[in-house]
C-alpha cells in the first residue's frame, strides 16, 4: 500500500505513541550506547509501557507513559532513581568536567550586587561575595557608607539552597519586606524586618505564590497578592494580627465578571501614597490588562477604572495625580499616553508616539520620562519631559542591553545596568539633574572582553521573514566549519531575547566556540505583531525561524551539524523538543531544560492552564489539530536517528511540570534509532526559579556544558 506524505506523517505520529508500528529494535535496545570522546554506556533503563488511549474529537492518541505523570508513585520514583544513576554513569566519563568546574567557578565566583533601592538616604541591595553560595541583603548609609548585612542567607539552611530577595521598603527605610525561597521553587515565605533594630517582626506570611507586596502608607500593614488555582486575591495584613484575620481587598470578581486563575492580580501603593493601584493581567502572557485605582485620600472611595476592557497590553506610572500608560492600544510598537481615572481611550493624550522601533520599557525618575526602545534588538534610551519633549539620549558601548533607569518620580538619583554577551553587567547611578553617571558596582570577572566580539546578522526564515541573530566569539575566529557552536532561543510569551551576559556562554567562547542567539518570532523584539506571528496555530514559525538560523550558520561555515549544540529551557525547552523531533539532522547535541513537551496535556499541570492564551488547548478541536502536528511528545518516530539529548528538570519545578521531561525521556530512549545517549538529569533541589546555591548552580552548569561540549566532539 502506498501512502501519501500526509498519511505517512499521520502514521508516524501514532507510531511514536504506540511503539508497535515498527518491529525494528532500536540501537539503544540492541546494545552499547556511544557518547563522544570514548564514552560508552549500557542500554538505558526500560520504562514500562502502559497504553492509555485518549479520544480527541474522533482522533485516538495513545500515551504509553501516562503512569510517569504521577511523580509521587513508588514506580515513578524508582524509575527516576534508575535514570539518575544511568546519567551518572555517563557523567563519570566526561573528561572535561573538572576543567569546566574550575573555569566556571572562576567566572561565577566573583562579587555580585543587585541594583540598589534608595530609601531615606540609604541604599538597599543584595550582595554575594565571591566565596559565598547565596546573596545576602545589605544596607549602605549614604553613597560612601559601609555595607551592613541585614539578612544573612548563609544561616538559613545547611545546604545553602535557600535564597532571599527584597520585595518592598518603607519611605524612610525603616521597614523592609523580604522573601525567603527554598531551592528553585516559585513559592516564597514573606518576612518583615525593622532595619535599625535588625529584628524581624513576629508577622510571617506563609509559603505561597505571591505576585506582589506593598507596604501600606501608614506602615501599619501590607497589601499582598496571593495566587491559587481558584484565583488571585489581594489581601491586607495588619501587623500584630493573625494571617487568618487578613482583610480581603479585591478578587473573585469585578463588575459581575468572574476572575479565576487566568486573571493574575497585583496591587501596589503609588510612590506618593495617594493611590492603591490594582493591575489585572488576563492570561500568560496577558491578552489584555485592566488597571483600577482607589484614591486613598478619600476614605471609603470606590475603585475607578484607569484602563478597563481594552484589548491591549498596558502598564501605568503615577506622578502626582497624573497617570502615564505604556500601551500597544492602536499602536503595535507601543506608545506612551497620559490619562486620568475614568477616562476613555479616545481621550488619552499621546505623550510619546509609536515609532518604527518598539518601546520596551519606561520609567519616571527625577521628574523625567525615560523610554527604552529596541532598535533591531539593541537598547536605545531617550529622555523626555513629562510633556513629551525630547531632552537627551544616553549612549552605550557597543551591542548590548541597558536596563531602564530605575527609581521614583521624586528621586534625583536613578540606577541602570549595562551588559552584553561579552561584558558582565555593571550598575550605574544616574543623576537626573546633571546627567552625570557614577559606577555603583562593576564585577571583576576574569574575562577579557577586548578579545571577543559580537556582531549581528539577518537571515530569512522559511516564509521569507527577515530575522535578526547575534553571533559572538573570539576575534579572528575562523569560519571554516571546524568550531563548535552553541545556539539558544526562546520565541514566545512576548519576551525579547537580548544581548546579556551569561557565564556559560562566556565559557563556551573561551574554549574557541561560537555562540549564537536568533531573535525568533514570538518575542517582543519587533512589537506585538512579532509576538502574534508565533502564537496558537502559528507556533511553527518559531521552529522554522530556529532551523533557518541553524542552516544559515552551517551554510556560512560557522560550524557543522555534528559540532552544533543547542540549549533551551521552559518555552525554550519546547523549542528544543521541536528541534529534536523535526530536524534531528541539524544538531549534534541538545540540552532540553524544564521543558514543555506534551502539548496535548500540558494544561492539566501546574501553571499550564494559564498558558492556553499563548498555545491554545487540546480541549478545543481547532487547537488540537495544530498542537498534534508539532507537540514533541506526539511526534517521536521510532527508528529515527536522534542526536545526543539531555533532559534536565527538577522536583522543585512548580511551574512546568517535570512529567514532560519524564515521559519524553522514556519515549526517546525506547524510540531512537541511533546509538547516541539519551539522558535525564533529574535534580532533587532545582526548579524553574533561581535560588539554588552557587555551588549547586556551577555543578548543574558543568553538567550541561560537559554534555554539550563532549557530544559535539568530532571523532
Instruction: Mark 514-530 as b/e (b = at least 16 C-beta within 10 Å).
Output: bbbbbbbbbbbbbbbeb
Question: Is 113 in contact with 440 (CB distance < 8 Å)?
Answer: yes
C-alpha dist (Å) from residue 251 to 150, 233, 260, 679: 34, 5, 9, 44
What is the full DSSP assignment across 264-327?
A: EEEEEE-TTS-EEEEEEEETTTTS-EEEEEEETTSTTPPPEEEE-S-SS-EEEEEETTEEEEEE
DSSP 406: B
Report how far residue 425's alpha carbon sits from residue 223's, in angstroms, rounded to the nearest whole number.
32
Contact 530/561 with Cβ under 8 angstroms?
Answer: no
- Asked if 181 and 691 count as a contact pair (C-beta separation under 8 A), the reply is yes
CA–CA gap between residue 650 and residue 183 (Å, rounded): 10
Separation of alpha carbons 429 and 442, rounded Å: 12
688 catalytic per annotation: yes
Q: Output DSSP code: residue 303.
A: P
Dist CA 279 CA 337 (whole Å): 17
Say if CB 223 and CB 269 are below 8 A apart. yes
Beta carbons within 10 angstroms of residue 439's beta carbon:
9
- Give phi and psi for 443, each to the nearest 5: -70, 150
Q: DSSP letter string over 350-390?
A: EEE---SSEEEEEEEETTEEEEEEEETTEEEEEEE-TTS-E
HSE value, Cβ hemisphere, 13 Å, CA-based, for 410 = 10
For residue 7, what is its C-alpha cell? Answer: 498519511
Give the cell for residue 165: 530577595
Distance separating alpha carbons of residues 178 and 369, to the nearest angstrom = 29
Q: Are 266 and 290 in contact (CB under 8 A)?
A: no
Which DSSP letter does residue 709 get? H
- In this structure, the chain runs to a length of 715
Annotated catalytic residue: which of 570, 631, 683, 689? 570
Burial (0-12, 13-18, 19+ Cβ within 10 Å), 396 = middle
If one counts every other C-beta atom within 10 angstroms of the C-beta of residue 650, the result is 23
Tell me how far CA of residue 320 lies from CA of 124, 368, 652, in angstroms: 25, 13, 43
What is the C-alpha to C-alpha distance for residues 534 and 603, in angstroms, rounded to an integer? 19
DSSP letter for 583, please.
-
* CA–CA gap between residue 290 and residue 680 (Å, rounded): 42
Q: 79, 68 in Cβ contact below 8 A?
A: yes
Residue bearing cell 523584539: 525
Among 522, 661, 506, smallest CA distance to 592 is for 661
Q: Please indicate whether residue 282 is annotated as part of the active site.
A: no
Neighbours of 299 (CB within 10 A): 6
How many CB atoms are located within 10 Å of the residue 208 CB? 16
Spatial distance between the Cα atoms of 701 and 486, rounded to a whole number of angstroms: 14
Strand partners, 372: 361, 381
Query: Of residues 409, 671, 688, 689, which has the active-site annotation?
Result: 688
Which of the residues are catalytic?
570, 688
Amino acid at each position: 500500500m502506498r501512502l501519501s506524505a500526509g498519511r505517512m506523517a499521520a502514521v508516524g505520529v501514532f507510531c511514536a505513541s504506540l511503539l508497535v508500528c515498527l518491529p525494528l529494535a532500536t540501537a539503544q535496545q540492541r546494545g552499547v550506547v556511544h557518547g563522544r570522546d570514548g564514552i560508552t554506556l549500557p542500554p538505558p533503563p526500560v520504562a514500562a509501557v502502559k497504553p492509555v488511549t485518549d479520544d480527541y474529537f474522533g482522533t485516538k492518541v495513545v500515551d504509553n507513559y501516562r503512569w510517569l505523570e504521577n511523580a509521587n508513585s513508588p514506580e515513578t520514583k524508582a524509575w527516576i532513581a534508575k535514570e539518575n544513576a544511568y546519567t551518572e554513569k555517563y557523567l563519570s566519563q566526561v573528561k572535561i568536567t573538572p576543567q569546566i568546574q574550575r573555569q566556571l567557578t572562576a567566572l561565577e565566583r566573583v562579587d555580585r550586587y543587585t541594583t540598589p533601592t534608595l530609601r531615606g538616604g540609604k541604599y538597599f541591595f543584595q550582595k554575594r561575595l565571591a566565596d559565598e553560595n547565596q546573596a545576602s541583603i545589605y544596607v549602605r548609609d549614604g553613597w560612601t557608607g559601609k555595607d551592613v548585612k541585614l539578612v544573612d542567607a548563609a544561616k538559613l539552611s545547611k545546604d545553602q539552597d535557600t535564597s532571599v530577595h527584597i520585595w518592598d521598603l518603607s519611605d524612610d527605610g525603616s521597614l523592609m519586606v523580604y522573601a525567603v525561597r527554598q531551592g528553585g521553587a516559585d513559592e516564597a515565605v514573606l518576612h518583615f524586618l525593622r532595619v535599625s533594630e535588625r529584628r524581624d517582626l513576629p508577622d510571617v506570611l506563609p509559603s505561597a505564590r505571591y505576585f506582589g507586596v506593598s507596604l501600606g502608607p501608614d506602615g501599619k500593614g501590607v497589601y499582598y497578592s496571593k495566587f491559587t488555582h481558584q484565583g488571585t486575591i489581594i489581601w491586607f495584613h495588619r501587623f500584630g494580627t493573625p494571617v487568618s484575620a487578613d482583610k480581603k481587598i479585591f478578587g473573585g470578581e469585578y463588575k459581575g465578571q468572574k476572575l479565576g486563575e487566568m486573571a493574575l492580580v497585583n496591587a501596589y501603593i503609588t510612590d506618593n501614597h495617594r493611590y492603591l493601584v490594582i493591575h489585572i493581567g488576563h492570561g500568560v502572557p496577558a491578552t489584555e490588562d485592566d488597571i483600577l485605582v482607589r484614591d486613598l485620600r478619600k476614605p471609603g472611595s470606590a475603585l475607578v477604572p484607569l484602563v478597563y476592557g481594552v484589548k491591549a497590553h498596558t502598564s501605568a506610572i503615577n506622578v502626582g495625580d497624573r497617570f502615564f500608560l505604556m500601551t500597544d492600544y492602536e499602536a503595535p510598537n507601543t506608545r506612551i499616553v497620559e490619562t486620568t481615572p475614568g477616562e476613555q481611550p479616545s481621550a488619552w493624550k499621546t505623550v510619546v508616539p509609536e515609532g518604527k522601533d518598539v518601546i520596551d520599557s519606561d520609567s519616571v525618575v527625577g521628574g523625567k520620562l525615560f523610554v527604552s526602545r529596541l532598535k533591531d534588538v539593541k537598547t536605545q534610551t531617550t529622555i523626555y519631559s513629562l510633556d513629551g519633549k525630547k531632552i537627551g539620549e544616553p549612549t552605550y558601548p557597543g551591542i548590548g542591553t541597558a536596563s531602564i533607569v530605575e527609581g521614583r518620580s521624586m528621586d534625583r538619583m536613578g540606577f541602570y545596568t549595562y551588559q552584553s554577551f561579552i561584558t558582565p553587567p555593571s550598575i550605574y547611578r544616574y543623576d537626573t539633574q546633571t546627567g552625570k553617571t557614577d559606577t555603583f558596582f562593576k564585577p571583576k570577572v576574569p574575562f577579557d572582553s577586548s578579545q571577543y566580539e559580537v556582531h549581528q546578522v539577518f537571515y530569512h526564515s522559511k516564509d521569507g521573514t527577515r530575522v535578526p541573530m547575534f553571533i559572538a566569539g573570539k576575534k579572528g575566529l575562523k569560519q571554516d566549519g571546524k568550531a563548535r557552536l552553541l545556539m539558544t532561543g526562546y520565541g514566545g510569551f512576548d519576551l525579547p531575547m537580548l544581548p546579556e551576559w551569561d557565564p556559560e556562554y562566556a565559557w563556551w567562547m573561551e574554549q574557541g566556540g561560537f555562540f549564537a542567539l536568533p531573535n525568533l518570532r514570538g518575542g517582543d523584539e519587533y512589537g506585538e505583531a512579532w509576538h502574534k506571528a508565533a502564537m496558537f496555530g502559528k507556533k511553527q514559525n518559531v521552529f522554522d525561524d530556529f532551523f533557518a538560523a541553524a542552516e544559515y550558520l552551517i551554510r556560512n561555515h560557522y560550524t557543522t551539524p555534528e559540532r552544533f549544540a543547542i540549549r533551551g529551557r521552559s518555552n525554550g525547552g519546547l523549542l528544543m523538543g521541536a528541534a529534536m523531533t523535526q530536524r534531528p539532522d541539524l544538531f549534534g547535541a541538545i540540552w532540553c531544560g524544564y521543558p514543555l513537551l506534551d502539548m496535548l496535556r500540558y494544561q492539566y499541570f501546574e501553571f499550564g492552564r494559564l498558558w492556553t492564551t499563548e498555545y491554545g488547548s487540546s480541549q478545543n478541536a481547532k487547537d488540537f489539530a495544530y498542537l498534534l502536528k508539532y507537540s514533541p511528545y506526539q511526534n517521536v518516530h521510532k527508528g529515527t536517528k536522534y542526536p545526543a539529548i539531555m533532559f534536565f528538570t527538577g522536583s522543585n519545578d512548580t511551574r512546568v511540570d517535570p512529567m514532560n521531561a519524564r515521559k519524553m525521556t522514556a519515549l526517546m530512549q525506547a524510540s531512537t534509532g541511533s546509538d547516541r545517549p539519551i539522558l535525564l538529569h533529574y535534580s532533587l533541589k532545582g526548579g524553574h526559579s533561581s535560588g539554588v546555591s552557587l555551588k549547586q548552580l556551577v555543578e548543574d552548569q558543568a553538567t550541561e556544558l560537559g554534555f554539550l561540549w563532549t557530544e559535539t566532539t568530532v571523532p
